[in-house]
Structure 1
Amino acid sequence: MDDAFVIVGAGLAGAKAAEALRAEGHAGPVVLIGEEGERPYERPPLSKDYLLGRAGREKIFVHPADWYREHDVDLRLSTAVTAVDPAARTVTLAGGERLGFTRLLLATGSSPRRIPVPGGDAEHVLYLRRVEDSERLRAAFRPGARVVIVGAGWIGLEAAAAARAADCEVTVLEAAELPLLRVLGREVAQVFADLHRAHGVDLRFGVQVAEIRPDAVLLGDGTAVPADAVLVGVGISPDTGLAEAAGLAVDNGVRTDEHLRTSHPDVFAAGDVANAFHPLYGRPIRVEHWANALNQPAVAARSMLGRDAVYDRVPYFFTDQYDLGMEYTGYAEPGGYDRVVFRGDVAGREFIAFWLAADGRVLAGMNVNVWDVVDPIRALCRSGRPVDAGRLADPAVPLTDLADAAS
């Protein structure tokens, strides 16, 4: 196909890339290829409102069903790509068909990590990534059911909140000392431990899973935790198989520059799979959150069209658990911050936490049940300038004043 732009991966990133290509005026063929049978949908509802039964299936889709036809996007579902040949500019489909491309975008996303224990791949063990996974989980969340969740990350904790809302008995098993310890650090991780315990979740830290049986999870010390349903949420891995086989640079994802171009000039990457150089941080980072899949594709599309575009947005993600709503803005590496400064009522779970570098720069901020503050937090993160910690902690000092002073 002449001047064809092919997108491998029909999730949020792939769908938004197709949208951006048309919005930017690309008139040639756009082919969007996905392994799933569903048209592109968003994944956050799968562990939030859709899992809770508060949102219907139609609410999760990126575009209406007719959008792809109306915008002349060749959407190929239930279709696997088996090979990418950058030199020949072709992709090979599972049935043997080859498609030529002028530019290629890899939006292959990621897959849940499997737990390497006996029974980890049994039929009754659930992993949450696709819409059918969410539906199986929702069916398992019935009153009185004994739900065991392995892993106290975002997916595990959101699922625990949904299970408690369904009146399940919930046990969360975590190898670390606290939930989200690597992501948030001890100071803020404790907030989430207290939250779930207050809602009746049995949190067990410092434990190892040895085996998953049909009716229980066996721990390393021999303890058997009864289970009617088991969800494993121990992280995700970027789907880099096609990129590796094609000879592209891969390191914790597909390596790209700030334009989202890979090591081949005609191949780009976006979303979970992209380990992209970030100008603000001076290094590649890979962010496994919805905002990246939403915002990177517009930059990738402009770059594919030969226009000057740079992805330098400050990372952002959110969660909703019970009566706690949270937004996190910025990037604080595990162990890469000096201290955490709190503003507001931590015990009442209505506060903002700031992760500071040793020189007083704001690396990241998390607002918990405090709203309309993302913009000044983002400005503080982008400024790269020290902020007085005392003023940062003082609710009487407007965040906008601190952001203006730091800019």
Structure 2
Amino acid sequence: MLGKTVCRACDSTNMYCFLPMGDHPAANAFVRPENLDKPDVLFPLESHACLDCGLIQIPDPLPADFYVDYVYMPSATTTMPAHFAALAHQFREKLVTAPGQLVVDIGSNDGLLLAACLGEGMRVLGVDPSANISQFARDRGVEVFNEYFTAESAVRIRDQYGPARVIVCTNTFNHIDNLDDFMAGVATLLDPEGSFVLELPQALTCIELNEFDTVYHEHLSTFTAASLVALGRKFGFKLVELEELPIHGGSMRCTLSRVGEPSAAVTAYLEREKAAGLFTKEAYDRHVERVHAIRSELMSLLERLKGEGRRLAGYSAPAKGNTLLNYFRIGPDTLEWIADRNELKQGRYTPGMRIPVVSPDRIAADRPDFLLILAWNFRDEIVQQQSEFLAKGGKFIVPIPRVEIIGNEG
């Protein structure tokens, strides 16, 4: 397969498998109760790095129909609505310069970003293969092209709706196996002076802050700026802007365009990636040592707490949490349940470890002693939401970037 030997971004064969994690189920394949007797479908989960452009990548993509029944929605958090509202305003201020210009969101999900763009007076179109999630977008007044985005479908979108002034992907581009085909579609659909805006987990923080769980089968790639430069060059695009974001534990907002030159921020960030050693095996080996240390410390802590008779559960059931649970082998014998605000996940079970997912109302009813925060990138939001849990003596365990206890002890 392409990803096994060739970099998705720069076509290099200088690949390094630095963290093989064994066979895992798809991280968002939450199990319905009626399917509990069926075994999980497993796929190899291995983190590879391209030592030429720094792209961290998973060789084995999921089946093409996986996203038809999807359970992730950004509206389930309180952080993302404000984040997308600010992004929509930025589009209006800087990129969408005339009435009627089109903003296309690829991987539009429940329409949260495009609804904010509609509120700013922009013309919008969502592109998303998920039938169930796209209905939420339509309920917000967002028109959705309900297919995968490819070089072929881009032609049909352009013919029907015209060229896009802005194409945006927020945590979608990292799901794409064939980046060349996707970029060919962007080149077809984007106005000659338009902007391709990406929000992506960044390899720099992934490695430096031990965020190994941001790698799972849906997240086929974790990007460096250098990898985007190499990929864009093949299609006549330059990386012209880069902004670091705190969202998702450290992301970057990158703008590719056919016009303009790289900003000072882009140049500086490329130098930081070199200084961090992202093109050397040694940087990844040190990362793996830290991940193994986290596993040892967390498992010792959970075992000690269980031995003391403490009741343990989890809070939030993100896809990344299932990488951690399955790699560390944390199951229902350790965590009684996991509370999550997303109603699409409630009543299901985590893939692989089969921990039940419940409503956050269960926290007050059961009063566990400790909650393991799996969506550690939203730790501040979660701690604020669950202030009553803390006030009554409950404590949180945060696994990344280091094991930490939040509460009156620790």
TMscore range, shorter length: under 0.3
Determine which structure has more spread, i.e. the larger CA radius of gyration: 1
TM (norm. structure 2) is 0.25
TM-score (norm 1): 0.25
Give the structure with the larger helix fraction: 2
Flag the structure with higher strand content.
1
Higher relative contact order (CA 8 A, sep 6+): 2
